[in-house]
């Protein structure tokens, strides 16, 4: 998992260890994090975090060096989370690859049980044998990250729980609303005008565009869809690629957080049959915001529901390639307006 960052500065090892969870989106465990740094400024350009269990060290090194080149980084930091016997081989492989490719490894750190050690610093005055305590409260980089809107879940499990399907009575209400939405769709089909499928598709698309625009406008005003009937109907309408694309086009990078909240809600509440579109929309909005952990988790949910969903596959390729959100350009503003009635 890779993410671009809004130019956060790091000055010391404690800054790196403290800020990484905020850049990754959660506190890693049994993971290796590679931080790409702009050589002249010392500012973080991107972060790549492996998932547990730890992958092959050579694979981490290869993927990391490719991402460093793509992001224009000439220096890197590595932070491993776990015991020495698991982290040291990762550090050795990455250090060798960095030397071979002319990338400066500024520090390599291991975090275990709330303390961190440096593989490169031999001074006992700053890097004692017992390690240093992790102290995010004393880090200027953490303060900068929080001020920029970054947060960190306690672990990846907590992140996954934030997009888990609704349960209990909330699930029961949504199940009833989904049955009603499907019946509403069936009535639209039965009342179609002469022209058969084409007339139904036109009416369905128009209904979908209105629903998407109402949901997005409401979310921008702090009023996302609340009623189970509205959420179930919106989720069903998103099965239309044109309706989904209308929602996609409306995800403005400047308001990505609004769309994250909207589509996270729809993803959690929607029937599993209708999660591919809201999950992909959530992943895209999270990617634009720089929250690659959330984007990654949302794509995992989509893959379980619809393994070959094309929008999710496209976003997954962007994440795996380390494409920064700044590389995306929205379509011309007038294009969505030509897609249908308000």
Report which DSSP code applies to 12: S
Per-residue pLDDT of the chain (342 residues; tens, 9 = 90+): 545 455 566 777 888 898 899 888 899 998 999 988 876 666 777 788 887 777 788 888 888 888 888 778 889 999 999 999 999 999 999 999 999 989 999 999 999 999 999 999 989 988 899 999 998 877 888 888 888 777 889 998 999 999 999 999 999 999 999 999 999 999 988 877 666 677 788 889 999 999 999 999 999 999 999 999 999 999 999 999 999 999 999 999 889 999 999 999 999 999 999 999 999 999 999 998 888 889 999 999 999 999 999 999 999 988 877 777 766 665 544 444 445 444
CB 49 within 8 A of CB 177: no
Q: How far apart are CA 48 and CA 283, in angstroms?
A: 17
Q: Which pLDDT value is given to residue 189?
A: 83
Q: How far apart are CA 4 and CA 190, in angstroms?
A: 49
Q: Which pLDDT value is given to residue 230?
A: 97
Q: What are the structural domain ranges in the chain?
A: 2-156, 162-337
Q: How far apart are CA 98 and CA 309, in angstroms?
A: 36
Q: Which pLDDT value is given to residue 340?
A: 47
**How many C-beta atoms lie closer than 10 Å to residue 189's C-beta?**
12
CB burial string 152-183: b at 16+ within 10 A, e below: bbeebeebbeebeebeeeeeebbeebbeebbe
Q: Which pLDDT value is given to residue 70?
A: 79
**Positive or negative, the Cα torsion across 155, 63, 39, 105?**
positive
Question: What is the DSSP track for 158-208?
Answer: HHHHTTSPP-HHHHHHHHHHHHHHHHHHHHHHHTPPTTTHHHHHHHHHHHH
Residue 215: exposed, middle, or buried by beta-carbon count in 10 A (0-12, 13-18, 19+)? buried
Query: What CATH architecture does domain 2-156 belong to?
Result: 3-Layer(aba) Sandwich (3.40)
Q: How far apart are CA 45 and CA 333, in angstroms?
A: 29
User: Is residue 336 within a helix (H) or strand (E), and if so which, with residue range?
Assistant: helix 334-337
Q: Which pLDDT value is given to residue 23?
A: 85
Helix, coil or strand: residue 300? helix
Backbone phi and psi for residue 193, each to the nearest 5 degrees, phi listed first:
-80, 170
Count the alpha carbons within 13 Å of 326 in the hemisphere toward its beta carbon.
Answer: 9
List the beta bridge partners of residue 82: none
Q: How far apart are CA 243 and CA 211, in angstroms?
A: 9
Helix, coil or strand: residue 157? helix
Q: How far apart are CA 201 and CA 59, in angstroms?
A: 47
Q: Which pLDDT value is given to residue 294?
A: 93
């Amino acid at each position: 998992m890779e993410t671009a960052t809004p130019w956060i500065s790091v000055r010391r090892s404690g800054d790196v260890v403290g800020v990484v969870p905020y850049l990754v989106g959660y506190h890693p465990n049994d993971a290796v994090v590679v931080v790409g740094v702009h050589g002249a400024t010392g500012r973080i350009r991107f972060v790549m975090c492996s998932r547990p269990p730890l992958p092959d060290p050579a694979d981490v090194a290869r993927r990391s060096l490719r991402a460093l080149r793509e992001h224009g980084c000439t220096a890197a930091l590595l932070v491993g989370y776990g015991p020495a016997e698991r982290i040291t081989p990762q550090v050795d492989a990455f250090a060798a690859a960095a030397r071979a490719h002319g990338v400066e490894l500024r520090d390599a750190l291991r975090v275990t049980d709330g303390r961190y050690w440096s593989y490169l610093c031999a001074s006992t005055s700053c890097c004692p044998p017992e390690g240093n305590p992790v102290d995010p409260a004393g880090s200027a980089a953490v303060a900068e990250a929080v001020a920029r809107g970054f947060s960190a879940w306690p672990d990846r499990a907590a992140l996954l729980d934030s997009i888990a399907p609704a349960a209990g009575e909330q699930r029961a209400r949504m199940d009833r609303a989904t049955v009603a939405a499907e019946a509403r769709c069936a009535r639209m089909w039965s009342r179609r005008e002469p022209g058969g499928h084409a007339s139904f598709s036109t009416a369905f698309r128009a209904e979908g565009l209105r629903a998407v625009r109402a949901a997005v406008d409401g979310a921008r005003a702090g009023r996302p869809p609340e009623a189970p009937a509205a959420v179930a109907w919106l989720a069903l309408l998103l099965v239309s690629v044109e309706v989904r694309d209308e929602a996609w086009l409306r995800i403005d990078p400047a308001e990505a957080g609004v769309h994250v909240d909207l589509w996270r809600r729809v993803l959690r509440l929607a029937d599993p049959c209708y999660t591919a579109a809201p999950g992909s929309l959530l992943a895209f909005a999270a990617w634009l915001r720089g929250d690659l952990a959330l984007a990654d988790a949302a794509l995992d949910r989509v893959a379980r529901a619809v393994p070959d969903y094309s929008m999710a596959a496209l976003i997954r390729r962007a994440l795996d390639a380390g494409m920064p959100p700044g590389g995306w350009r929205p379509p011309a503003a007038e294009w969505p307006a030509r897609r249908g009635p308000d």
